[in-house]
Amino acid sequence: ELFRLLDVAMAGDIILVEQVDRISRLNTKDWEQLKNIIANKGLKVVALDLPTSHQFMKTTDEFTERMLAALNSMMLDMLAAVARKDYEDRRRRQAQGVQRAKKEGKYKGRPVNVKLHQKIEGLLREGKSYSQIETLIGCSRHTISKVSKLIKNNKTLC
């Protein structure tokens, strides 16, 4: 949605976000690319959780606007780094918890959708292509591939 918004936004438009971390969980390369798009289009980012950005909503003289832009750029970079670190920390802790639960035999992952797998298996046996199956059932190519591998290993569901 953000990139659709950026496509239609015009110079001087304000992108209002609830929290900075909603747009800044990107890796460094992607974050820099997003900042460049915003800067090149002449857009302003206003975040409800970044009070210094609220000044962008008021028309000011060029000097004040440039000072605020520099300050907000620095603040956005800092908050983006914190948001990314927080995101990575949560993902790491989740992975550790899953690993521990697997060792203890408590983690089984998401259960297999047997009905979906049976439908896919039937369509594969009819000779349907992955694209046709995707369209008919609305599942991903990865899921179709998993079922196909099960069939090849004689671990069928039907």
Give me 33's structure tokens: 């690319």
Residue 156: its pLDDT value, please? Answer: 66
Give me 111's structure tokens: 């259960």
Residue 90: its pLDDT value, please? Answer: 94
Share of the chain above pLDDT 90, in %: 36
DSSP H/E element including 137: helix 130-137
Q: Confidence band (pLDDT; 50, 70, 90) for 158? A: low
* Rounded (10°) CA dihedral 35, 41, 47, 52: 90
Q: Answer whether 34's CB lies under 8 Å from 57's CB.
A: no
Q: Confidence band (pLDDT; 50, 70, 90) for 78? A: confident
